[in-house]
Structures are given as structure tokens and as C-alpha cells.
Amino acid sequence: IHHAATDHAGNIVLTEDHVRGCMERAGSDPRALPRELGIALGEPWDEELEIYRHAGEGVPMRWLHRVS
């Protein structure tokens, strides 16, 4: 589960400490910073939920067999 603070428009808000933590984990790897920020912004969670945002003919369907 991804937890994040949001503003009045629903945008995810990262604190300065959170951004600094992403920078620290990325180190000197220039490709790591966008990855770390993406994780902080919940991109993996967002990608997993994308299938539920589209409905229509021909769109793959995922059935939830057990939800609790």
C-alpha cells in the first residue's frame, strides 16, 4: 500500500526530507533519481491500478475473486 500526503487538487506532495532521502538513495547514479522519485510518488501503485481506470469493449478484464 502506498501512503502519501495530497494537496487540495489531489496531487501528491513530497516533503523536503522525502526528496532528500530519494537523492541520498540515488547517490551518483543519474538514472536512479527519477526511479526513486517515481517510487515516492507511487508510480508502481498507479501502474497496478491503471487496468481499473479503463472500461470498454476489447479492454482486458481482471476479476477480483476475493476482496476483504
Predicted confidence (pLDDT) per residue in 52-63, tens digit: 776 667 766 667
pLDDT, tens only, 24-58: 999 999 999 999 999 999 999 888 887 777 666 77
Whole-model pTM?
Answer: 0.68
- How far is the C-alpha of 54 from the C-alpha of 46, rounded, in Å? 13
Could you tell me the pLDDT band of residue 67, with boundaries at 50, 70 and 90?
low
Quick one: DSSP state of residue 12? E
Residue pointed to by grid coordinates 522525502: 18
